Structure 1
Amino acid sequence: MCGIIGCVGRDDATLDTLVHGLSTLEYRGYDSAGVATASNSVDVVKTSGKIEELRETLEGAALTGDVGIGHTRWSTHGPPTDANSHPHQDCTGDVAVVHNGIIENYQHLRDELAASGHTFTSDTDTEVIPHLVEDQLAEGAEPERAIRNAVSRLEGSYAVAVVVAGHGTVYAARNDSPLVLGLGEDETFLASDVPAFRDYTDQVVYLDDGEFARLEDKGWTVTTLDGDPVEKDVDTIDWDPEETGKSGYDHYMLKEIHEQPRALRQCLRGRVDEMAGTVTIEDVGDLSPDGVQFVACGTSYHAALYGAQLFRDAGIPAQAFLASEYVTSVPPLSDALVVGVTQSGETADTLSALRTARKRGVKTLAVTNVVGSTAARECNHAFYIRAGPEIGVAASKTFSTQQVALNQLALSMTDADATREIISALRDLPSNVQRILDESTARSVAETYENADAYFFIGRGYQYPVALEGALKMKEITYKHAEGFASGELKHGPLALVTENTPVFAVVTGDDEQARKIVGNVKEVEARDAPVVAISDGQSDVSRYADHVLEIPETHPRTAAVLANTHLQLVAYHVANLFGHNIDKPRNLAKSVTVE
């Protein structure tokens, strides 16, 4: 949520670079946007609404500075208005600031500043920052010292970028909110995420908490907030800028659903030896935990539920916790391995949970998509899912690759039964997903039930997290009421909501006792005249009781969950598309939730 871009050394291309960078960060979720450029003065243009509206406003403006910063805001303090948009300035107009995060002591600072004569024009917590800098400059401090002193008074989470009139420099500081530098030839960039400058360079430096960066056309430096030099590694981004385009698809989400076969191959490559029947994950090392605690949020929490069952089935106690609950009510840890599942590696609640575990001396492992992310750097170990960049706010290929990555993790750490059979199913998974993408009748199902009152999803075992994820996708992009349940729970309350206009999606695979129980639950639904959509591999007789069947190839129960999920992603997508919603940027949501 919220996006930051900054650049130095782009000369006449500064403004275009800022606006282009903001457009690549739209996927993070936002409700206003703005830019500031600095030379002998600081010029700011900002507006509520979308990037297109900012572009229209800029057509009549004259911004000439050769260094600049930009921002897309997702409202926290104050509604999305022009005044609340970033950048924010001080009373003199010589300082401009953009900020991601939440300043927890902003009200105290604001009261103090107002009492000393400062005038505020917004409702935001961010606006205290330029005024703090202004006070320091008035006392004779040079800009860098003024900004360091101002930042030192902030409590909470922040990624801050600042420009000052008369200085060709972008200053930045980070605490609990991501910032990354992009290193070009005679030009330097700053952003909250790599896509903002990936068209210009693949060389990056990730800032850590408590670090301060200075960007000039002649180079860059990183120090602690106190000014001590920090040696930083320069990493190379291994994906092409083309990967963040739509490639002819109507929406990023649809493109990313169709990219799943490739993403799954990338996740499996070099880790699975089918001949030997082994899985080796060099990044993780030799971990043999007595127990596993997963911490995650949203879609990643559903992957964590799935992963916990994988470990339990192999005889290792495992639980999945909502990261936000874990922090405030920490369960007994003993010698458990704490695994944070986070697509971005920057999810604030998940980072807090992992830090809580580390403070208690427990080993931590990040399962993430982003190399160099905060979770990857702070945990004892990192395991990358290799999904490639995902732009759509609603997760698709990152969920399926999380499922596969957790399979690999469980197989590498446990003595699972039928390991060769599971590995064979994992090998076949990309082609089986492709088959579903080629043959799915999800669009027809969506057209049949687009006007339903609500949607219910049921499953058991490995399919229960898939039911939860199917419901979440429907909520996120269609804005319709949807719920996922363990199928046996229907008769304990939710059945009261079932009507002839509430389709029930039942995930039924195999023909064991579990499948037979779900079929029994389907009969309960059918008896109340609710339409049933079965996601089935044809082994059970659920099709006899279903109005529609979305077929999946016969496979191992573990990988059947990935295949079933593909159908549900497509159903949600097509329903949302029929409504004409902004699928890639659903209302009120952000791709990376970096505040608690």
Structure 2
Amino acid sequence: MCGIIGYVGNKKAAPILLEGLRLLAYRGYDSCGIATSTIDELHVKKDVGEVEKVDAKLDFSQMPGFLGIAHSRWASVGRVTKANAHPHLDCKKGIAVVHNGTITNYPKLKKMLERKGHVFISETDSEIIPHLIEDFMNSGRDLKSAAVNALKMIEGDYSVLVIMKGFDGIIASRRGLPLVLGVASHGMFAASDIPAFLKHTKKVVYLQDNDFVVLKPSNFSVFNLFDMKKARRRVDSVDWRASEIGKKGFEHYMLKEIGEQLGVVKRLERSDPSEIKSFARFLKNADETFLVGCGTSYNACLAAKYVFLRVSDFRINPILASELVNYLRFITRKTVVVALSQSGETADVLDALKKVKGKCKTIGVVNVKGSSLTRQVDKTFLLNAGPELAVASTKVYAAQVCFLSMVAYSLENNYNEGKKNLNYLWNVIYYLTSRTMKNRIKELAFKIKNTSSIFLVGNDSLYPTALEAALKIKEVSYIHAEGLVGSELKHGPLALIEKGTPCIFFVEDESILAAIAEVKARKGYVIGVSPKNNSFFDFWIKVPSVENLNSIVQMIPMQLLAYELSVIRGFNPDKPRNLAKSVTVK
């Protein structure tokens, strides 16, 4: 879940790498560092903290050299310390490595290297790599051969970049974790994600597992790690614009991306209907369909289930990706597994797909072209929501639910009806992201900012909304939040309701009024999210009904609430503690 970037070219490397680190910060912000290389020396700066704070202390931009590598860390093996920050060096301080992933056999390799006299200064598994390379070079191999042999010894998934003083390029390789090349007029890039270099080029090369790459200032060569035969990898182009990755005057990415849901809906409304109808044909021919995802993507699966139930005669089965293993005996050649992921790199989703590979048809619904998920499925559908850089997903949730709702309508040959709903949804989102609504939500945030728990309750299609709203509040404000079905309140959670406990109710019809009355009787603070006010409400958030897409419109005020709570409580909503955007470890 760390972010890595490398650059070699005719421009000074350090400012470019620093810019890339800022754009990879959503992948980890426990520590960061940069290594650059000149003819006779490696230059390394690193420390604990977010990129901006470390840069203010170390002044990364002043580092010399026209090639280098950089890393933003999400700690998995080893504590958050300067010694554990990347880049890591060998004993002679001539080789530098940045690494994303987990080396599962590192204790064994470390003992072997220590017996040979290697001295380690960190607790990380990553430090194994430069020492292994050094060990092979001690036996007479060159950097390329030594790196190949070192990587062959590693067990686990990784993406890795290697530089050495005196070497005029970068070694790059991946297995199971993302690494994409960028081909610019002034040099070559390798990074975890495209936004890290999008300002410089839209030309990209999507690497495959066990690709081993040598990057030079004006070219690259790709080999298979195990037989070192040359591999052909085409140069592709991305549709994203560099302007999409900036904050555009917003204080945080999260607030910007909440507002960008307008564009998400409009793009889907105007998209080629053949893609959605093609998806529908896949499902029509299936005996059973499973929707799998994690976190927000799983909640989108749940929300989609209710749309399918309401507008079609087709049943789908939402399942947490990590739980799909328990359903393997029900999967046949006539089954379709649909995997949802923003990044296309979610470890549990990829693992689930591996378990069903060859047993059924698989479809990926993903926001990142060329991601690992796109190479594991039989068919890919891109959401085209644009880059999402805040850790907490907002606009991609809307994209996922809208896309699947259009599939549901298409199953019943009602594509145009679904499109009409999207058009009305766009108008409602325009109101929900207005300054008036933002001020209303900020008023609520100030009222409940000091609470220890928030309960969010929704029936039927709004139950997934309650779950997703609770997740957003937990993620960025660190307030305990729990999503519930109204009927479940009296089966335990009601015991936690005290005077003033905030309880947010998502109201679609009168079926939830009994649950509201129960909370009101215990003097809970009732917040209603609904088209109409009610005497039970202590605070009302007016949200027009969009029928089968209420799971989206009632979610947007909650995204704003989570954001405002985070800011008011003094946190950075873009970078919640202990979390990262791409969950690439299980």
Partner of 2:398: 400
Residues 50-74 of structure 1 deviation map (CA, whole Å, 9 limit, x = unaligned): 2124324434997433211000111
Cα distance in 2 for partners of 1:419, 1:131 equals 58
Structure 2 counterparts to residues 383-532 of structure 1, below 5 A: 383-412=381-410, 414-415=411-412, 421-438=417-434, 439-440=436-437, 441-509=440-508, 515-532=509-526
Q: Closer, same or farther in 2 for the Cα pair 1:381/1:547, shift >3 Å? A: same
Residue type of the alignment partner of 2:527:
V
CA distance in 1, matches of 2:61, 2:153: 34
* 1:57-206 correspondence to structure 2 within 5 Å: 57-59=57-59, 63-206=63-206
Amino acid at match of 1:586: P
Q: Provide the rounded CA distance (Å) in 2 between the counterparts of 1:424 and 1:57.
A: 54
Q: Which amino acid aligns with 1:434?
A: Y
Other-structure match for 2:530: 536
- Asked whether 1:19 is paired with 2:18, we answer yes
Give the CA deviation at 1:124.
0.1
Q: Does 1:304 align with 2:301?
A: yes
One of 554, 561, 576 as aligned partner of 2:545: 554
SS at 1:545 equivalent: coil
Cα separation, 1, equivalents of 2:109 and 2:326 = 27
Which residue of structure 1 lines up, in the alignment, with residue 239 of structure 2? 238
| 5+ residue gaps, structure 2 | none
SS in 1 for 2:465: helix
How many correspondences in the alignment?
578
User: Does the 8 Å contact 2:463/2:485 carry over to 1?
Assistant: yes
Residue deviations 1:121-152, cap 9 Å, x none? 00000011111101111111111111011001
Hey, what's the Cα distance between the residues in 1 that align with 2:328 and 2:279? 27
- Alignment correspondent of 1:512: none
**Aligned partners of 1:279 and 1:408 also within 8 Å:** no
CA contact (8 A) 1:454 1:501 kept: no
Aligned to 2:579: 589
One of 315, 318, 333 as aligned partner of 1:317: 315
The Cα shift of 1:251 comes to: 1.2
Asked if structure 2 preserves the Cα contact closer than 8 Å seen for 1:42 and 1:65, the reply is no
Within 1, Cα distance between the matches of 2:307 and 2:102? 37
| Cα separation, 1, equivalents of 2:253 and 2:76 | 26
Q: Which amino acid letter does the alignment assign opposite residue 574 of structure 1?
A: E
Q: Aligned AA for 2:330?
A: P
Structure 2 counterpart of 1:292, which letter? T
Question: Would you say the 8 A contact 1:309–1:318 is kept in 2?
Answer: no
Cα distance in 1 between the residues matched to 2:403 and 2:61? 49
Q: Deviations over 1:374-398 (max 9, x none)?
A: 1122211111112111111111111
Aligned residue in 2 for 1:333? 331
Match of 1:367 in 2: 365
Q: Scaled by the length of structure 2, what TM-score is found?
A: 0.95
Identity %, equivalent residues: 39
Q: How far is 1:520 from its partner?
A: 1.3
Residues 148-200 of structure 1: per-residue CA shift (max 9 Å, x gap)? 11001111110010011211110011011100000012410010011111111
For residues 405-464 of structure 1, the C-alpha deviation after alignment (integer angstroms, 9 at most, x for no partner) is 11122233x227x76544322221111111122242222221222222310111122111
Change (3 A) 1:111 1:329: farther
Distance in 2 of aligned mates of 1:297 and 1:581? 24
TM-score (norm 1): 0.93
Deviations 1:67-125 (A, max 9, x none): 11000111011111110000111111111110001001111111111111110000000
- Looking at structure 1, the residues matched to 280 and 137 of structure 2 have their Cα atoms a distance apart, in angstroms, of 48
Kindly tell me: are residues 312 and 76 of structure 1, through their superposed partners in 2, closer, same or farther at Cα, counting changes over 3 Å?
same
Cα distance in structure 1, aligned partners of 2:323 and 2:78: 26
Which residue in 2 is equivalent to 1:292? 289
For 1:449, the aligned partner's letter is I
The answer to whether the 8 A contact 1:97-1:163 is kept is yes
Which residue identity does 2:565 align to in structure 1?
V
One-letter identity of the residue aligned with 2:271: G
Deviations 1:205-244 (CA, angstroms, capped at 9, x unpaired): 1111111111001300112112112111222121211111
User: 1:462 aligns to what SS in structure 2?
Assistant: helix
Q: State whether structure 2 residue 376 is matched by structure 1 residue 378.
A: yes
Give distance in 1, aligned partners of 2:93 and 2:280. 50
**Counterpart for residue 569 of structure 1:** 559
Shift of 1:306: 1.4
1:253 aligned counterpart, secondary structure: helix
Match of 2:257, SS state, is helix
Amino acid in structure 2 at the alignment position of 1:298: G
Q: Distance in 2 between matches of 1:262 and 1:405?
A: 14
Structure 2: how far apart are the matches of 1:271 and 1:459? Answer: 34
- Aligned AA (2:306): Q
CA distance in 2, matches of 1:67, 1:516: 64
Query: Would the aligned equivalents of 1:291 and 1:316 in 2 still touch at CA under 8 Å?
Result: no
**How far, CA to CA, are the matches of 2:549 and 2:376 in structure 1?**
31
RMSD (Å) for aligned C-alpha atoms: 1.9
Deviations 1:273-302 (A, max 9, x none): xxxxx9844578654222111111111110
- Residue 275 of structure 1 is matched in structure 2 by none
Q: Is the 8 A contact 1:506 1:522 kept in 2?
A: yes
Alignment partners' CA distance in 1, 2:235 and 2:567: 41
- CA spacing shift, 1:321–1:61, aligned 2, 3 Å: closer
